[in-house]
Structure 1
């Protein structure tokens, strides 16, 4: 029988929940997957997803229920700041040696810098800057689309649709990108309005790959939109550096496509992430053992 202590890290989001368990020497023993764990789904569904991913990882590691008392758990969750969520999860009965929670962005930040001071900018469907300096958490942006999330996939899509309507009206030059966007709506502005009434950030972000493709092909409207998005990411990085972050990592689905468009001074200050959000939650679990 394997001897503890064991450290289990869980990263729960709106599309799925990942878990990984390691021994005290840092060896990966097992990994697990489960369904969505975003707190908007409700406390019980979130808890069930955490437990399912954890059980999957422990099963792969060959660990049974009898060792739960030797397992310390760190969990990063989307939506942890929702009122009452942290208290409810922290008070949920379990058989682990201990469990600690953090929001998903901070989990990613801890993993990116191996628990040391640093910051991340996440550029995906949304965008946000998160950091940790002298035990103080930093946050820049990320207040939700459309009022925030600048430089994100949703931002690219919004500006593409906006420019397409302007071109349709003759208020700016038509380009291949803007024609392709309007074709999605049968070249009918009222179809755009109908779609807009129900569209989410994810719906707008669907246009992001199209914008990036046209930008790479030299489309002037696409290039202008991508350059503006990159400028917003530049601003997030510089704000975190100005607040004392010694290093910044760029994460998310748009990290690689947008990085070549960033300002030279920003690109020089970026560093690759050491690890992922699960790495960050395992660090949390390890720290909890020493507290």
Structure 2
């Protein structure tokens, strides 16, 4: 079978995370681009919602570009795509809609976008967390990225869990909230401290992640917030060290939580860091362009 694939007029890259999804459609002949954003697209947090959000974004972009999705070669980089069953189910749900399509982890698209497809270590910190390596010989390795229930240490969602635990601990020990952080969280959740546990049992990862700005805001005036922040930083440093391992490669931090976390990292970690040349959306588009020319068969460890 010939590995070469006829060039498609349009390529689509999708970056779907636990909080939001960004999609970019590009006409390869004219260079014109269209961008759209929508809700979360994590296959393991809410598969049906992820599929719904992705389909809505693609429909919006195709309407803007006046094209059919069957003219499009697409790459979806989605949170939770490390779950092969979910990734396969998603691909089966959309494969007929496109000229060609592949589903990858958002770790892979971040990896290819961060250094324009060149060797690098990438650690992404957002609602979830994951590390990945692209070696000089083209090998791809993923560390973490197992999802909220069993992993994601160093993520916004897990920092939010630490914050809620602190609130519940104060309620248990004191009968009321006392720390500045706990008071701020109770206020954010409606002002009734008795509702904290009920909120936590139904909260999604993105809900927990929404508490992280409070931890950063109060870390210099509240020891509870400071302790949570330092525990978070420790998880991030461990993820960076584990991902980089013995590879003498530059490290790029990506994700919305990377910017506020960066100042608190130790000097050894900071010395490894370089600026990103692109993001996960750029990586998805790069892989989509490759897919118009040659069938991609490689896969990331425990992911596509």
For this structure pair, what is the TM-score category when the shorter chain's length is used for normalisation?
0.7 to 0.9
How far does the alpha carbon of each residue in 1:173-229 deviate from its partner, in whole angstroms, 9 at most, with x for none?
9542244446668786x65444444344333333221111111x3322222221121
RMSD: 3.6
Partners of 2:242 and 2:50 in 1: how far apart?
Answer: 36
Partners of 1:59 and 1:213 in 2: how far apart?
Answer: 42
| 1:232 has 2:221 as partner | no
Please give the residue correspondences for 1:101-112 in structure 2 after superposition, counting only pairs within 5 Å: 101-112=103-114
- Which of structure 1's runs of 4+ aligned residues deviate more than 6 A? none
- Matched residue of 2:96: which SS? coil
Q: CA deviation at 1:230?
A: 0.9
Partners of 1:179 and 1:246 in 2: how far apart?
Answer: 43
Q: TM-score, normalised by structure 1?
A: 0.78
1:229/1:21 Cα in 2 relative to 1: closer, same or farther (>3 Å)? same
Q: Match for residue 129 of structure 1?
A: 131
Question: Aligned to 1:22, which of 23, 26, 43?
Answer: 26
| 1:218 has 2:218 as partner | no
- Matched residue of 1:101: which SS? strand
Question: Aligned to 1:86, which of 84, 88, 108?
Answer: 88
Q: TM-score, normalised by structure 2?
A: 0.75
Q: Highest Rg: 1 or 2?
A: 1
Please give the residue correspondences for 1:88-237 in structure 2 after superposition, counting only pairs within 5 Å: 89=91, 92-94=95-97, 96=99, 98-133=100-135, 134-145=137-148, 147-167=150-170, 169=173, 175-181=179-185, 191-215=195-219, 217-237=220-240
Q: Which runs of 5+ in 2 are unaligned?
A: 1-6, 295-304
Q: Which runs of 5+ in 1 are unaligned?
A: none
- Matched residue of 1:92: which SS? helix
Aligned residues: 281
> Relative to structure 2, which stretch is displaced further, 24-33 or 74-83?
24-33
| 1:73 has 2:74 as partner | yes
Q: CA deviation at 1:257?
A: 0.9
How far does the alpha carbon of each residue in 1:222-270 deviate from its partner, in whole angstroms, 9 at most, with x for none?
2222112111111111112115261222122211111101111111212
